[in-house]
Chains A and B, each alone.
Chain A
Amino acid sequence: MSDSLQLLILFVILAIIAIAIFVVIALSTGRPSGESSEPPGGYVIRRRWFLVLILVLFACFFTTIPFVPYETAAMALQPALRVPVVAHQYFFDMPSHLPLNRRIMFEVTSDDVNHGFAIYGPRDHLIAQTQAMPDYVNYLAVTFHRPGKYKVRCLEFCGPGHFAMDKAFTVGGAP
């Protein structure tokens, strides 16, 4: 299962829990308490809810930091095959074949407007991306562990031909 499908499942579970809470509270109005103000016990729950939520957010923040796609200065100096990528309206200027199991540093820029540089794997799942901007170079490190046909798609709107802007390339085997 791809990472993004796992995110969808996480979202669906959380959304169902949230909707269920709203439904239960709406249904509670069928047996009113007769009080003219909100239940005082609610504030105790609110305090605990705040603490739980802030702990969860702290945990999410710190546990996901190791997986960010940014290069530290030390990582950027590691050996890698440097692959320049120049995006144009509406094509990518880049190699059509890349090696397997080798660290590749894509040096992504644009010749005209903002573009996206998104790599889709053989099963058409989005595996990595960065923006292609004029006047700037974005460095994206990727190591391909699976041979096959890959595709780069533009994910930043760049003009009326945006939806047709892609580039196929192969990984592994003979070029």
Chain B
Amino acid sequence: MSDEPLESTTSGRRVMKLYVYSGLIIVALMMLAGITMRAEQAGWASGVSAGLFYALLTLHGAGMIVGLLLCGMGALWYLMCRHIHMSAPLAALACILQVVGVIGIVIATLFGGFAALYTFLDPLPYHGTWPDWSTGLFLISMGLVCAGWVIWSLQMLGGVMRAYGGLRGAMGWDFVFFHKSFTAAGRHPPPPEAFPALLSGIDGIIAGMAGMVLMVALIVRWLDPRVKIDPLWAKNLTYFFGHTIANVIIYMLAATIYVGIPYAAGRKYHTSIVLAIAWWTSTTLTMTNYFHHMYMDFAQPHAMSFFGEWSSYMSSLPVVVVTVFSALMIVWRSRTRWGLGAIFMYSGMVGWVVGGIAAEIDATIPFNTHLHNTLWVPAHFHTYLLGGCLLFAVGWVFLLLESRSRRRTSMFFRWVICTLVFGGMAVFLAGFYAAGAMGVPRRYAGYIFTGMPIGQLFAQIATIGAAVMIIGFILLFIEGLWLRLHRLTAMPSSPQPLVESIS
């Protein structure tokens, strides 16, 4: 049994609910947009025009990123509130800004037809068939998302630094370099989850500010078309902002591994020197490996591409040598009870690693020539966002529900849910990977009339997989409601540790 309870403060719990529930609702709606697009590519949704397809794609990409970001912010907030004090009203403000941003994106895309994608590469937002107001609304909405992200990141960084003795203490500098004297003095390093919190704070502020600079530049260009922006500069900022936000989401939710997996396994995850150094590495490389998005921009200095490749390779080391490896050591021959929470969190690590393998292949410059902007790209990021981040978020929610309800889903129902979710997900992703390896382009509103019927075949396979997966998630949602209801009626008081409760 773990010494560390899963519980947090009341305000931490409230903030987490606000974030995670908002995030999961957005993710569920974006999933529906996603399957609609895949069905259109499969030739099964003829009512979806090309304009609507790309508006949905814009919405799906931007909405899914914000939805998962909210899940990560909520989970990490909850974890850190067990150790540090942060302002709940400011957290609520940050969340509201982002939700309002998503509402703006919904209006701009579905009602305004804005379809310059979630990458909105300059100058495309001003060269579309959509009305001018939808461009402005989309850019302002993305600006609100950035503002909310920066407010949250400032709070998180400030809280961590205040609690652990400034940046030096929060990094575990003395713990790493003066280990003997540090431990002899009876001092303790920050807990493992404080390191992803530090990364989220630092990288979130820098990338969020970069995103705001980009939004301001694009909004100025929207207000005055005479203003010209260098497209390569805008592209660099776009991918720096976009890649970093996607990576920070993973690291935020990876923090739940440090608490959730040991909790389910009945063991403890300790801060070690290797762990601290691994997180310093991740904090730095998360901001430099975005160059791999620009390998095919030959006008970019080549040294940046080589640096991006090396940086992408090195950023895999902290993941597979420290975080995931240590989690596997904790699970190895432990008394882990495989409730849905533990299953989903553990499976999330599989998605993270497998998606990472595909990403590393794509991050190799000569291979990128064959894979860049094919369906291989959505294949790998769906693997670690859907098969990694979302599973971490859902797993975390179920760990809490199981803990507080003292119940575990029946073996039969666990098998049904897991078969549908993981089986459907595997088929869905296989459709992306196989098509990507055959050079089928991504972001095509239909394949039949473009001389690529193989793209339609894989879209049909993927749509079936996605439908099965969504049925599994619906059953999971019903099971979650049942556990929640049970908690309300039978367990209004304090929760029990999971290992005892489900034995």
Distance, CA A69 to CA B370, complexed state (A): 11
Q: Contact between A163 and B445 (Cβ–Cβ < 8 Å)?
A: yes
Q: Contact between A89 and B127 (Cβ–Cβ < 8 Å)?
A: yes
The chain B residue with its CB closest to the CB of A50 is B321
**Contact flags (1/0) for B359-389 with A, using CB distance below 8 Å?**
0010011110111111010000000000000
A37 near B: Cβ within 8 Å? yes
A175 near B: Cβ within 8 Å? no
Q: Given that A38-B330, A61-B310, A166-B450 are contacting pairs, would A67 and B297 also be in contact in the complex, using a CB cutoff of 8 Å? A: no
Query: How many residues of chain A are within 8 Å of chain B by beta carbon?
Result: 77
A19 near B: Cβ within 8 Å? yes
Picked from B50, B121, B371, the residue with its CB within 8 Å of the CB of A7 is B371
Q: Contact between B124 and A159 (Cβ–Cβ < 8 Å)?
A: yes
Q: How far is the CB of A125 from chain B (nearest CB, A)?
A: 6
Distance, CA A158 to CA B50, complexed state (A): 13
Within 8 A of A (CB), among B336-378: 336, 338, 346, 349-350, 353-354, 357-358, 361, 364-367, 369-374, 376
Q: Contact between A163 and B366 (Cβ–Cβ < 8 Å)?
A: no
Distance, CA A74 to CA B298, complexed state (A): 16
A78 near B: Cβ within 8 Å? no
Which A residues are in CB contact (< 8 Å) with B25?
none
Residues of A contacting B: mostly? mixed
Q: Contact between B267 and A37 (Cβ–Cβ < 8 Å)?
A: yes
Distance, CA A29 to CA B349, complexed state (A): 17
Q: Contact between A31 and B373 (Cβ–Cβ < 8 Å)?
A: no
Q: List 23 A-B contacts (CB under 8 A).
A: A2-B439, A5-B437, A7-B361, A8-B433, A15-B354, A19-B350, A29-B338, A50-B321, A54-B317, A61-B310, A64-B364, A64-B365, A64-B367, A68-B365, A68-B366, A114-B235, A120-B439, A125-B439, A126-B370, A129-B372, A135-B231, A160-B129, A160-B445
A positions within 8 Å CB-CB of B: 2-5, 7-8, 10-11, 14-15, 18-19, 21-22, 25-26, 28-29, 31-33, 35-39, 42, 46, 49-50, 53-54, 57, 60-61, 64-65, 67-71, 89, 112-114, 116, 118, 120, 124-126, 128-131, 133-140, 151, 153, 155-164, 166
